Amino acid sequence: MSEPFDAVDVIVAKRDGRRLSDAQIDWVIDAYTRGAVADEQMSALAMAILLNGMDRAEIARWTAAMIASGERMDFAGLSRPTADKHSTGGVGDKITLPLAPLVAVFDVAVPQLSGRGLGHTGGTLDKLESIPGWRAALSNDEMLRQLNDVGAVICQAGSGLAPADRKLYALRDVTGTVEAIPLIASSIMSKKIAEGTGSLVLDVKVGSGAFMKDAERAGELARTMVELGTDAGVRTVALLTDMSVPLGLTAGNALEVRESVEVLAGGGPADVVELTVALAREMLDAAGRPDADPAAALADGRAMDVWRRMVAAQGGDPDAPLPWARETEQVLSPADGVLTTLDAYAVGVAAWRLGAGRARKEDPVQAGAGVEIHARPGDAVRAGQPLLTLHTDTPERFTRAREALVDGVVVDPAGTPGARGALVLDRVAAG
């Protein structure tokens, strides 16, 4: 068939800093998805976008074209409003697990499409798959039925949602163009808008353990995604949250599920509770439930009831023992003093090397592997006191995990004990 545009002309336009027309964007996304634009051509265009950017209208059109490459889900038949949350990824970020059932307590449906971990950031589906029997793959009909019956579902996205994004993401990953904010924003938002949720809360992580290390760039990404959601008719808000230190006291799969259950039981680490409640309030407000009290629903067990039903609906046994790694090793404090540094990236890499994460999408993960944290930055510690416990089924991994932690765990003999800084750094809303 005859093509209305030439890929080279589109590449040159963006290379020279010109704005792409709606017709050019629609064509290049469609043509790439069906193979009429080659990988090397799309990689050149992605690099031109990385270097020269896109304006708001271009990004919105690019996102719409990605959505149009596949199916759109529709929750209009549900009897309750919908709200979803997306995190840009971090270390110890198990927030989705207690958050989805917590929001569902208040008659808001939570269709949470999640992914698996890659590199030092953990994946929600990997965590949940440590629960015996639990399954991530649901049909659209199963997902709708569970939203009607339980109010919350956490599952993998179907292959029909934004297939252009799946192809383009794999290309960006090997061509040094992952960091392009227009492409990051359109990748995330094309799937979330196609998912059909009525409102969306974004948790944009900032710090060493986050994809975005710099607060200014994280803010730009948050604003871009909020604009995309707003332009598409999805009520969208973003919180910028600290990821210089791991969230909670665990990084791993089954380890993080245990911690999430502690939060649902009314306990758990203060920072996990704080962020869960903050995001729940945003989701409930966006869904028209501004007077709901999520903190009370954690404390009185209502969120735990929904959690148990949600896990069981996907074949999991909420009462089954979770896996433990066969081997453990402790990292001890070298001196009396104050733990001044517990670097999120270092802990994430250690958990990954212990077997909790993967280098490639097809790699297996160990359900019990990870890092257990016994002291937080600002805590006074004594020489020989356990700071971390490393968990793995394969003890030959301990050496490389410890190497990752060499500069990431620092005890200062002259340090002054103190509290952690703010967890929620900023809020970005439409307008």
Nearest to 371 by CA among 411, 325, 335: 325
Q: Is the dihedral of CA 160, 161, 167, 169 positive or negative?
A: negative
The full length of the chain comes to 431
Residue 155 zone, left/alpha/beta (φ > 0; ψ -120 to 50; rest): beta
Q: Tokens 């993960």 label which residue?
A: 365
289-318 in b/e form (b: 16+ CB < 10 A) is beebbbbebbeeebbbebbbbbbebbebeb
Q: CB count, 10 Å around CB of 171?
A: 16
Distance CA 40, CA 289 (A): 48
The burial class, CB within 10 Å (0-12 / 13-18 / 19+), for 333 is buried
Nearest to 88 by CA among 201, 256, 253: 201
* Backbone torsions φ then ψ of 373, nearest 5 degrees: -105, 130
What is the set of active-site residues? Answer: 86, 165, 172, 187, 191
Distance CA 185, CA 175 (A): 18
| Contact indicator for 308, 298 with CB cutoff of 8 Å | no
The burial class, CB within 10 Å (0-12 / 13-18 / 19+), for 130 is buried
Q: Fill in the amino acid letter for 250.
A: T
Beta-carbon contacts of residue 352 (< 8 Å; ≥ 6 apart): 119, 120, 358, 359
Beta-carbon contacts of residue 355 (< 8 Å; ≥ 6 apart): 325, 365, 366, 369, 392, 393, 394, 397
Distance CA 95, CA 188 (A): 18
| Contact indicator for 144, 273 with CB cutoff of 8 Å | no
Distance CA 135, CA 128 (A): 8
